[in-house]
Amino acid sequence: MSMDFSEFKRLLGADPRSRDPELLRARASSPEFEQAAADAERFEGLLARAVKLPVPEQLIDEIRSTPQQASTRASERRWWPMAMAAGLLIAIGAAGLTWRMNPSWDSVEDYVSDHYRHDGAALLAKADGRVANEVQTLLAEFNVEALPDLAAIVGVIKYCPTPDGKGVHMVLNSENGPVTVIYMPDTPVTDHMQFTFDGREALLVELKSGSAAIIGSSAQQISNLYALIQGSIVPAPGAT
């Protein structure tokens, strides 16, 4: 039996560069499958490059300025190296101003539902590991850390786009089943706001540094984790 398109996209969300024979056969079965795979690989590549590149403070303004403004500024300073300019464009595209290269978030709720639809289900299926060391490494970039009770139950963690830049996508192996948590370092939310999408329940959490969204199968499941998330993602020692 051939793989349907929904299953194909779910597997792509888990690993866009997978060389699984069944996935490769499905990819070659039609132009639609091939295009979806190419788009997923491109997005993953953009994100990987974005999270590694430093962003010059003045370059965003340079890119956003009008041609006339850019011309005037060019006489006042040297051009940034072309590689750095290209890198910033990638960073802007992949690190939060767009999702699938099409910005359309009118609210945090829109972002959370769109993000989860992209790879939420696929990552839930992989949440059987223990990655406490990776948790601290990724969160350290944002000058926060996870306290031991939280770090111990993280089964999957990766960087992800947020409405205001780069963030972290985690899946927790909770007592009531796997739960998704998206950490948003620079995004304000209404604390305790709860909403539903696609049969999933989501709860927003205001943190001491940034915010988070908890996504699960029931209101009770995510409510049980509110106190743990709010109390366990904290500023790292020495963070200002």
pLDDT tens-digit map of 39-50 = 777 766 655 555
What is the reported pLDDT for 44? 67
CA 139 to chain centroid, in Å, comes to 13
Please provide the size of the chain in residues.
Answer: 240
Give the pLDDT mean for 20-34. Answer: 82
CA atoms 97, 100, 101, 104: torsion sign: negative
Predicted pLDDT at 144: 97
Contact 180, 116 (CB under 8 A): yes
**pLDDT above 80 (res 154):** yes
Query: What pLDDT digit, counting tens, does each position of 195-210 carry?
Result: 999 999 999 999 999 9
At 22, the pLDDT band (50, 70, 90 cuts) reads: confident
Grade residue 13 by pLDDT with cuts at 50, 70 and 90.
low
Give the integer Cα–Cα distance in Å for 111 and 49: 22
Give me the pLDDT at residue 143, please.
Answer: 96
> pLDDT tens, 178-194?
999 999 999 999 999 99
Q: At which residue do the structure tokens 């769109």 appear?
A: 114
pLDDT reported for residue 5? 76
Q: How far is 218 from 199, CA to CA, in rounded Å?
A: 9
Query: What is the 3-class SS of 84-106, one letter each residue?
Result: HHHHHHHHHHHCCCCCCCCCCCC
Using a pLDDT cut of 90, give the percent of the chain over it. 42
Topology given in CATH for the domain delimited by 108-235: Protein Transport Mog1p; Chain A (3.40.1000)
Rounded CA-CA distance 144/128 in Å is 24
The CA distances from residue 47 to 63, 224, 238, in Å, are 19, 32, 29
The strand pairing partners of 200, in sequence order, are 197
Alpha-carbon gap, residue 216 to 201, rounded angstroms: 5
In the chain, what are the domain boundaries?
A: 5-50, 59-94, 108-235
Inter-residue long-range contacts of 126-133, CB under 8 Å, 24+ positions, other chains counted:
126/14, 126/155, 126/156, 126/171, 127/155, 127/156, 127/171, 127/172, 127/173, 127/178, 128/155, 128/173, 129/155, 129/156, 130/154, 130/155, 131/155, 131/156, 131/157
pLDDT of the residue at 171: 95
Report the SS3 class of residue 55.
coil
Report yes or no: 226 and 214 within 8 Å, Cβ to Cβ: yes
pLDDT value at residue 32: 82
CA distances from 99 to 59, 110, 115, 116 (A): 21, 11, 8, 11
Average pLDDT, the chain: 78
> What's the pTM?
0.62
Residue of 76, 118, 86, 81 whose CA lies nearest to 99: 118
pLDDT in tens, 80-137: 444 444 444 444 344 333 333 334 578 999 999 988 988 898 898 887 777 878 999 9
